[in-house]
C-alpha cells in the first residue's frame, strides 16, 4: 500500500459528503481496446464530473464491460488515456486505484460473514478494531441491512447480497463507484426497488458513479447522463432528455424509446428543407439544423406521441392493430407499404380506435428529425 495508514483513516473518517466534493473527476481520451481483430472499445472519449451519475448504455457486446474494466484497471488499454482528477492512471494497478466496484454476480466472499466482507477493504487500508466496527455498522445501515452482519452471504437473498456488495464497495468512500449490470440478476420488482435505493445512496455519499446497463429504461431513469455505445464506439452522450428529444444518430433514436422512421425525399428551399413522401401524402418543412444528412433522401423520425390520428372514412391509412394501456392507446397504422405507430391519449367520451378503421394522420413537424437514409 503506497499511502500510509494515518492518511487513509483520516480520509475514511472524514465527513460523508464533503470528502467527495472535488474528487472523482474521470475522463477517458481516445480510449481503445483491441482483442485481436475485434475493436471492443473504439476511440472513446468521455469526461465525467465529480459526483456525476453516468450510465453506459448499449446492447450486449457493445463494449460497455470492456470500457468499465479498463477504468477499473482489470483490462489494459490498447491506446488512449484514463484520467482521474487530472492524473493519468493507465499504469496504476487496479488495487491502487481505490475505486469501488459492484459486479452483476455480487462477488461476495463466500467464506466471510457479511460484516467481514464489508470490513475487508477497511482492513486492507490498515483500519483495526473499533474503527472497523463503526464503519461496518454505518455501511450496513446505509443499505438497510442492520443486524445482518453475522450472516454468511449464502444466507441472504439476491437483492440483499447486492446491497452488501454495494455497502462493501462504498465503505471506504471511493471517489468513483463502478457498477457492471449490478441489477441484471434480479427480478423486475426488486430491480426497480434497488434502482431507487442506489439513487438515494448516490445522493447521500456523492461518489461519481459509472453504471453499466443494457436496459434503456434503467439508464434513463437513474443517470444524470447516458453514454450510448454501439460496436465499441461512443455514439452519443447526454442527459436522458437530450437523448430522447435530440438523438444525434438513427441508432440512438431507435435504441431509446420508440421511433417511427419514414422514408422521405429531401429538397432544399431557402434556409429550410422540405421532406416529402408521395406514398404517405406527406410534406414537412424542416429547419436545416434538424436535418442530419446532406443527401436527397432520408428517414424522417417521429415518436408515436407526435403522430396525430383522426377518424376519416375517405383516408387511405388504416388501423391494423391497437393496444390500450390505460391513459394511452398505441395504434399501428398501415399506409401503403409503410407501417407507423401512433400514441394517442385516451379521453373520456371519445371512442377507441378499432382495427380496420380508416384514419387520417398528421405529424408534428416541430418534433421530427431527418436521418441519413442508409441505416
Ligand X SMILES: Nc1ncnc2c1ncn2[C@@H]1O[C@H](COP(=O)(O)OP(=O)(O)O)[C@@H](O)[C@H]1O
Place of cell 406514398: 279
- Which entry of ligand X, another protein, Mg ion, none binds 40, CB below 5 to 8 A by partner kind? ligand X
Q: Work out whether 329 is an interface residue with Mg ion (CB under 5 A).
A: no
Distance, CA of 292 to CA of 251 (rounded, Å)? 13
User: Site mask, another protein, residues 286-315, x = CB under 8 A?
Assistant: ------------------------------
User: Site mask, ligand X, residues 166-205, x = CB under 6 A?
Assistant: ----------------------------------------
Q: Work out whether 116 is an interface residue with another protein (CB under 8 A).
A: yes
Distance, CA of 322 to CA of 116 (rounded, Å)? 55
154 within 8 A of 163, measured Cβ to Cβ? no
Q: Give the number of other CB atoms < 10 A from CB of residue 249.
A: 16
- Which entry of Mg ion, ligand X, another protein, none binds 98, CB below 5 to 8 A by partner kind? another protein
Distance, CA of 188 to CA of 175 (rounded, Å)? 29
Identified binder of Mg ion from the candidate list 65, 207, 329, 341, rule CB under 5 A: 65
Distance, CA of 22 to CA of 354 (rounded, Å)? 58
CA angle 85, 90, 94 (to 5 degrees): 90
Say how many residues make up the chain: 375
Stretch of residues binding another protein (CB under 8 A), selected from 106-114, 223-231, 232-240, 281-289:
106-114
Distance, CA of 65 to CA of 75 (rounded, Å)? 10
Stretch of residues binding ligand X (CB under 6 A), selected from 57-65, 126-134, 195-203, 294-302:
57-65
Distance, CA of 303 to CA of 365 (rounded, Å)? 11
Closer Cβ to ligand X, 74 or 306, answer by number: 74
Place of cell 391494423: 320
Give the three-state DSSP class for 286: strand
* 226 Cβ contact partners less than 8 Å away, ≥ 6 residues apart: 54, 55, 57, 219, 220, 237, 238, 239, 240, 243, 256
> CB of residue 132 vs another protein: minimum separation in angstroms?
7
Identified binder of ligand X from the candidate list 27, 43, 49, 61, rule CB under 6 A: 61
Q: Work out whether 60 is an interface residue with ligand X (CB under 6 A).
A: yes
Identified binder of another protein from the candidate list 92, 112, 292, 365, rule CB under 8 A: 112
- # residues contacting ligand X (CB under 6 A): 11
Q: Work out whether 121 is an interface residue with another protein (CB under 8 A).
A: yes
Stretch of residues binding Mg ion (CB under 5 A), selected from 63-71, 170-178, 242-250, 347-355:
63-71
Identified binder of another protein from the candidate list 25, 82, 143, 169, rule CB under 8 A: 169
- # residues contacting another protein (CB under 8 A): 44
Residue ranges binding ligand X (CB under 6 A)? 35, 38, 40, 58, 60-66
Amino acid at each position: 500500500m503506497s499511502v500510509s495508514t494515518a492518511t487513509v483513516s483520516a480520509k475514511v473518517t472524514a465527513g460523508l459528503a464533503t470528502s467527495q466534493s472535488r474528487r472523482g473527476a474521470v475522463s477517458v481520451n481516445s480510449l481503445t481496446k483491441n482483442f485481436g481483430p475485434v475493436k471492443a472499445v473504439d476511440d472513446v472519449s468521455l469526461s465525467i464530473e465529480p459526483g456525476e451519475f453516468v450510465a453506459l448504455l448499449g446492447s450486449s457486446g457493445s463494449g460497455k464491460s470492456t470500457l468499465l474494466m479498463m477504468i477499473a484497471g482489470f483490462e489494459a488499454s490498447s491506446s488512449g488515456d484514463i484520467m482521474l482528477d487530472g492524473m493519468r492512471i493507465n499504469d496504476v494497478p487496479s488495487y491502487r486505484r481505490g475505486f469501488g466496484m459492484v459486479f452483476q454476480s455480487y462477488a461476495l466472499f463466500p467464506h466471510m460473514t457479511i460484516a467481514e466482507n464489508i470490513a475487508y477493504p477497511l482492513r486492507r487500508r490498515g483500519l483495526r478494531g473499533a474503527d472497523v466496527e463503526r464503519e461496518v455498522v454505518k455501511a450496513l445501515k446505509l443499505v438497510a441491512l442492520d443486524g445482518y452482519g453475522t450472516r454468511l452471504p449464502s444466507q441472504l437473498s439476491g437483492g440483499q447480497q447486492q446491497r452488501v456488495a454495494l455497502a462493501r464497495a462504498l465503505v471506504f468512500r471511493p471517489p468513483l463507484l463502478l457498477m457492471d449490470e449490478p441489477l441484471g440478476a434480479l427480478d423486475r420488482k426488486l430491480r426497480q426497488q434497488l434502482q431507487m435505493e442506489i439513487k438515494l445512496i448516490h445522493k447521500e455519499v456523492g461518489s461519481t458513479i459509472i453504471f453499466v446497463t443494457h436496459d434503456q429504461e434503467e439508464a434513463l431513469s437513474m443517470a444524470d447522463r447516458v453514454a450510448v455505445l454501439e460496436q465499441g464506439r461512443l455514439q452519443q452522450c447526454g442527459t436522458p432528455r437530450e437523448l430522447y428529444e435530440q438523438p444525434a444518430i438513427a441508432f440512438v433514436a431507435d435504441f431509446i424509446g420508440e421511433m417511427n422512421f419514414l422514408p422521405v425525399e429531401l429538397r432544399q428551399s431557402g434556409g429550410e428543407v422540405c421532406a416529402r413522401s408521395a406514398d404517405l401524402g406527406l410534406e414537412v418543412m424542416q429547419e436545416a439544423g434538424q436535418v442530419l444528412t446532406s443527401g436527397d433522401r432520408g428517414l424522417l423520425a417521429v415518436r408515436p406521441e407526435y403522430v396525430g390520428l383522426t377518424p376519416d372514412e375517405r383516408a387511405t391509412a388504416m388501423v391494423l392493430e391497437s393496444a390500450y394501456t390505460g391513459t394511452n392507446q398505441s395504434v399501428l397504422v398501415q399506409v401503403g407499404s409503410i407501417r407507423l405507430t401512433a400514441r394517442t391519449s385516451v379521453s373520456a367520451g371519445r371512442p377507441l380506435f378499432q382495427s380496420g378503421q380508416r384514419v387520417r394522420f398528421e405529424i408534428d413537424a416541430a418534433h421530427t428529425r431527418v436521418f441519413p437514409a442508409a441505416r
